[in-house]
Chain A
Amino acid sequence: MKVTFTVNGQRVSADEVWEGESLLYILRERLGLYGSKNACEQGECGSCSVYVDGTLVCACLVLGGQAQGRDIVTVEGIADGHALHPVQQAFVEAGAVQCGFCTPGLIVAAHDLLRHTPEPTTVEIREALAGNICRCTGYAKILDAVHLAAERMAST
């Protein structure tokens, strides 16, 4: 089948998509958007987090066909060109990235949290990011990064 949707503001389509393919597969393997990661394909780790029509979802759990006509934003769409988004900049500065495999998903999830809750408490951050597994950092620096991003976004 053919699937057409918008990704990061651009209209794209993929031909000869097998009905069983996930949105994640289309993004990575057909559109070359390797930012979203595949770590479990079960909705458990959040590495594949993207926005579909403004809602945070696991792209591994969305069928490719369900993306038809939708507006998708991936981690590649978070930055403004080459200028990092404050959430991304905060992850870099806080040391919230070790291997980096969880990072794209966490960036999108943290971005989503700060849209709804601009000044989250540590408990709110923990709850919001509980669906994102990081095997490297023990999360402390990720919490620091989200606080840092929140501070900076509040002051601009």
Chain B
Amino acid sequence: MGRDGAQPAPLRTHRMDVVRYWGEAVALVAADHPEHARRAAQAVRVEYEVLKPLSDPEEALSDDAPRLHPDGNITRRIKIRRGDQDPHADVVVKGEYEVGMQDQAPLGPESGLAIPDGEGGVDLYIATQWLHVDRDQLAECLGLPPEKVRLTMAGIGGAFGAREDLSMQAHACMLALRCGRPVKMAYSRSESFVGHVHRHPARMRYEHGATRDGKLMYVRARILLDGGAYASSSTAVISNACCFAVGPYECANAAIDGWVVYTNNPPCGAMRGFGSVQNCYAHEAQMDKLAEALGMDPVDVRIRNALETGSSLITGQVIDGPVPVAELLRRVKAMPQPAAAASAHLDLTQMPGGVSNTTHGEAVRRGVGYAVGFKNVGYSEGFNDYSTARVKLSVAGGRPRVEVHTAGAEVGQGLVTVQAQIAGTELGVHDVAVLNADTQVGSSGSSSASRQTYITGGAVKAACEAVRERVLALAVSELSGLGRADSDADESGWRLEHDAIVAADGSTVITLATLLGEEVIEETREFRPRRTARLDAETGQANAHMQFAFAAHRAVVDVDTELGLVKVVELATAQDVGKAINPQAVEGQLEGGAAQGLGLAVMEEIQVKDGVIRNPSFTDYLLPTTLDMPPVRMDILELGDPNAPYGLKGVGEPPTISSGPAIVSAIRSASGRPVNRVPVRPHDLLGV
């Protein structure tokens, strides 16, 4: 379900008479062997009256298009109006841009195990981004009270937004409850491609006006997202696409119009970058065009207009905390560039076309491109966001031990490690266990929107602080009871370190094992970030977002201008992460996120024709391999956000936003072609 619950999920568990997309579940079959189930499913006959699919989002907007849902085809319309609506500009550049449909392609296909409890309830072992929202939807689908539906996290083979919506959860539970037996359900790769939402394809029309010296005077944009057959998180994705439509630039005058519409295409929803990926291709192409029209350096024109602390967004929100847009650009520009391929030592893997041996350097041109992007961290527009953590301190085997329990989904981003680090740091205890996530503890919200280290990290920190307070209070009362007046003197300086309470001078006051004995100290806390507000329907003005994260990229590419083949030679990035809680994991996010950006720029697209996915396999949907992904030069800034726990910022999404646009900019400069559509295909570079 979309998080403001617009339209039910791309899953229905009741009798239906309309199928809105190719891939919608219509029947369930369980068997004792997958092959039996496959054959039985083939034997199911469904009678369809086939209608002409509505597959063009532009057409979906028109009045005479068939209405795919009772409320019509517009899932959400966004209007942002700021400043002068008829401003003067010396220079005007226009462009139309298109982004294809990307798939999250997490390596682990959707799967789960549902076990009926014999009393009408069900236990589900599942890979999901948000246990509690799954549980609530399942309870509703199954007609059960929430306490009869218990979820336990199974290992998650990547997510990237693909596991925000239900996939096979309800189906496995229905079968298990009906059969009275455990049911395991796992998607094949082709089912996975069809069975989860994708990144929204976008069509964008932009107009930028600037003064002769490069100051942005206005931006007008029209953004149309194809949401496919069901809403998923479309209403939030279009909000992001519009709020950040101008990019991280000061722009006093703006008119942004956005629509996300229903079509009969595969449903689209969350994917890393969430609306900010699509618009970044457009606003960064526009900034390059502007630079060219003005005869300015593309980085300079960006720096000239860069947001800074205290700037207003086009939504009227004033951003506080560090806003290092200009600094990030300066840094990526200053980084050393890779040497041109040495012809003496021909390395085919470094050539466009790679080991297919299509060129030894003939017709290969190098290009360099820059891009910068930003987005919100955490949920926006008034969403009641929070996370819950339970922390328990006890003594086991003569040593203190901390158990951290949250429902936060470890999707590979490193949440388990971060929780352990926070608890270990706050309580000074070496032995920290992070329990497996389940619905026995309160919600942690979703592993989405780069929010978990901030929100669930914040909850673990708060619960640890509550435990620590009790430990120190206990120590004071126990020790004064023992007449240890010497240590009473400055108990305000006591801290927890190395499994003990340590005084300000570093001496051990008492070990935790001695202090606690049999005593168990357990605290549960909820952490809530700053509140946000919904965009005004007419003007799009609001303090809609909680935190902003920025990254800049530089790409160096080689293009075979005769064959239209591209080799990305190097990516360089600078990103402010506030505080790197786990520096190695932060680097991993920057590298992995850039790889997904590269994928959308030059390789990855779900091909949809008349609503049918034509390439639902790893053979036909191309993912970056070791031969496609270049080294990533990184400059990680830790500028500290005064509002966030430890000063940290969400890290996961910015790497996926500006990496692709930087690559496309470099391709433009190498090929001399306009390139207004991603992924870039060979024929786009040859003009055929």
Contacts and interface: CB of A to CB of B under 8 A. Distances in A.
Interface in A61-115: 95, 98-102
B157 A18 contact: no
B105 interface: yes
B412 A136 contact: yes
Interface stretch (A5-13, A41-49, A147-155): A41-49
B594 A138 contact: yes
Contacts of B593: 138
B585 interface: yes
Contacts of A95: 584-585, 587-588
Interface stretch (B54-62, B230-238, B314-322, B617-625): B617-625
A142 B625 CA distance: 12
Contacts of B617: 40, 42, 44
A139 B413 contact: no
A141 B104 CA distance: 21
Interface in B340-369: 347, 349, 355
A54 B631 CA distance: 32
Interface string B94-121: 0000000000111111000000000000
Interface residues of A, number: 37
Interface string B160-183: 100000000000000000000000
Given A40-B618, A100-B157, A138 B632 contact: yes
Interface string A113-156: 00000000001011101111111111111110000000000000
B588 A141 contact: yes
Given A45-B618, A99-B412, A133-B625, A138 B591 contact: yes
B107 A135 contact: yes
A39 B626 contact: no
Contacts of B595: 137-139
Given A134-B107, A135-B106, A135-B623, A101 B591 contact: no
Given A20-B35, A129-B626, A37 B585 contact: no
A127 B618 contact: no
Interface in B283-327: none
Contacts of A21: 35
B156 interface: yes
B15 interface: no
Contact of A99 (B109, B157, B594, B629): B157
Contact of B108 (A18, A39, A126, A139): A39
A143 B587 CA distance: 14
A38 interface: yes
Interface string B183-199: 00010110000000000
Contacts of A143: 626
B629 A37 contact: no
A41 B107 CA distance: 12
B629 A139 contact: yes
B31 to A, nearest CB: 12
Contacts of A37: 107-108, 157
Contacts of A38: 109, 186
B592 interface: yes
B411 interface: yes
Contacts of B529: none
A45 B629 CA distance: 15
A102 B618 CA distance: 14
B349 A123 contact: yes
B128 to A, nearest CB: 13
Contacts of B624: 138
B33 interface: yes
A99 B626 contact: no
A92 to B, nearest CB: 11
Contacts of A39: 107-109, 157, 189, 618
Given A95-B585, A98-B414, A140-B631, A42 B619 contact: yes
26 contacts: A18-B33, A39-B108, A40-B617, A47-B107, A95-B585, A98-B592, A99-B156, A99-B411, A101-B107, A101-B155, A101-B157, A102-B107, A126-B626, A129-B626, A132-B626, A133-B623, A134-B107, A135-B107, A136-B588, A137-B592, A137-B595, A138-B588, A138-B593, A139-B595, A140-B591, A142-B626
Closest 7 A/B residue pairs (Cβ): A99-B412, A101-B157, A138-B591, A98-B412, A138-B595, A44-B618, A101-B107
Interface of B: 33, 35, 104-109, 155-160, 186, 188-189, 347, 349, 355, 411-414, 584-585, 587-588, 591-596, 617-619, 623-627, 629, 631-632
